[in-house]
Amino acid sequence: FSRQNYQHYVDVLANMCDERARMLQHQFAVSMNHVHALAILVSTFYVGMHPSALNQDIFAEYTARTAFERPLMTGVAYAHRVFDHERGLFEKEQGWTIKSMHSKMPSPVHDEYAPTIFSQETIGYLVSLDMMSGEEDCDNILRARASGKGVLTGPFRLLKSNHLGVVLTFAVYKKELPPDASAEEKIDAAVGYLGGAFDFESLVDNLLLQLSKNGDILVNVYDITNFSRPLIMYGTENSDDGLFHVSPLDFGDPFRRHEMRCRLARKV
């Protein structure tokens, strides 16, 4: 191939990759904004009203009817913060016991729990599970309530589907926080956690396949928070050292870094 031809492929690849990264980042941002709004909905109608104006049926209906706002997410759920001294009464009121995520057995004693009490029907299997009993979910909960921001896990295999994805978490606070609230004040004010999963293996796959014409381009997404140990989030791992392009990705959690790497499906 001529040098001119090669430069053409370099440009085409860069444009296709940048377009896909922008598209994915946009869909991510749209979904995150909507989950943020759901956290405020729970704060207003569940935490802020006595008696509560929200229950599982209303949450399930509202989240099903607004699912189009979160096209890359399998579903959303609300996990309530329960201290150990409240556990007995809480379980009696709910009519179930708080369970561990992986064993599905009644949870051993901890200082506090985060059992899911409301869920979109698509992830109804989370109800009664203590989200602090999963390592990735627990890390997210701690970081979300101390920061007041939407936070993401690294890539891991999601419950039930076993698809590769990441979980998004926002803390729900009992009252609106002053903008200068300290981490301790935020942690104290947290009453629960609103979140859900981005399914890279099926929903992001759909989005990217829609875009690629006849499989012209191979896309990988990496979590590069630890730059020397990139974690694959999407696509098949590839050791090919041919022509590739890296497009930046910002999924909105400053603690994590991501990038998209694209290559042409056919060698040039």
Q: Which is nearer to ligand WA2, 13 or 41 (CB)?
A: 41
Written in H, E and C, the secondary structure of the chain is CCHHHHHHHHHHHHHHHHHHHHHHHHHHHHHHHHHHHHHHHHHHHHHCCCCCCCCHHHHHHHHHHCHHHCCCEEEEEEEECEEHHHHHHHHHHHCCCCEECCCCCECCCCCEECEEEEECHHHHHHECEEHHHCHHHHHHHHHHHHHCCCEECCCEECCCCCCEEEEEEEEEECCCCCCCCCHHHHHHHEEEEEEEEEEHHHHHHHHHHHHCHHHCEEEEEEECCCCCCCEEEECCCCCCCCCEEEEEECCCCCCCCEEEEEEECCCC
From the CB of 156, what's the least distance to ligand WA2, in Å? 7
Q: Which is nearer to ligand WA2, 137 or 223 (CB)?
A: 137
Q: Which is nearer to ligand WA2, 43 or 140 (CB)?
A: 140
From the CB of 194, what's the least distance to ligand WA2, in Å? 6
From the CB of 268, what's the least distance to ligand WA2, in Å? 40
Q: Which residues bind ligand WA2 (CB under 6 A)?
A: 74, 77, 79, 116, 123, 126, 131, 134, 137, 140-141, 158-159, 167, 169, 193, 195-197
Residues composing the chain: 268
From the CB of 46, what's the least distance to ligand WA2, in Å? 14
From the CB of 168, what's the least distance to ligand WA2, in Å? 8
Buried-state track 144-183, b at ≥16 Cβ within 10 A, e below 16? bbbbbbbbbbebbebbeeebbbbbbbbbbbeeeeeeeeee
Q: Which is nearer to ligand WA2, 165 or 235 (CB)?
A: 165
**Residue in the shown chain whose Cβ atom is closest to ligand WA2:** 195
Q: Which is nearer to ligand WA2, 12 or 138 (CB)?
A: 138
From the CB of 76, what's the least distance to ligand WA2, in Å? 7
Q: Which is nearer to ligand WA2, 151 or 260 (CB)?
A: 151
From the CB of 79, what's the least distance to ligand WA2, in Å? 4
Q: Which is nearer to ligand WA2, 77 or 190 (CB)?
A: 77
